[in-house]
Amino acid sequence: MRRITAAFATCAATIALLVPAGLAAAAPAAPAEQSYTVVPYENVNVRQLPTKDSAYLATLTAGHSYQAYCWTHGQTVTDHGYTNDIWIGFADGYSSAVYFKGDQYANLPASAQC
C-alpha cells in the first residue's frame, strides 16, 4: 500500500510541475471547500473559464439546485435586462451569475471569491 501511495504522490507532484502557472489560478475552487446552493432560473451553460467563448462543459437545468464554490469576475454578460461580470465557480467550470436566482452573486457571500 505504501508503494501505491508513494507512486501517486510522485505522479501528482510531476503533474503539478507541468501545469502552467497562470492555468492553476484560473481553475474553480476544489469541492473540498465550503459550498453554496445555487438555482438557475433558466438552463445555463457551464464553461471551462469565466467567458462565453470558453469550452462548453455541461448545462445546468432551470429550477434544480447545484453546489457552487465561489464567484469571480469574468466576461460581462447581458441578458433579460441584466448586465453582470460575475461568474459562479463549480467543481469543473463556471456559469454566468446573470442566470441564477438571488443577487448579483447568486447569493454567494462576498468572501466566497475564487
Quote the pLDDT of residue 33: 76
Instruction: Name which of 28-32, 54-58, 77-81, 103-107 the model is least confident about.
Output: 28-32
DSSP-derived secondary structure letter, 106: T
Quote the pLDDT of residue 6: 35
For the cut 90, the answer to whether the pLDDT of residue 96 exceeds it is yes
Higher pLDDT, 27 or 56: 56
| Mean pLDDT in residue range 59-87 | 97
For the cut 50, the answer to whether the pLDDT of residue 94 exceeds it is yes
For the cut 70, the answer to whether the pLDDT of residue 74 exceeds it is yes
Quote the pLDDT of residue 62: 98
User: Residue 71: what are its φ and ψ, rounded to 5°?
Assistant: -135, 155
| Distance (Å, whole) CA 24 – CA 16 | 9
Average predicted confidence (pLDDT) for the chain: 81
Burial of 26 (0-12, 13-18, 19+ CB in 10 A): middle
Per-residue confidence at 114, pLDDT binned at 50, 70, 90? very high
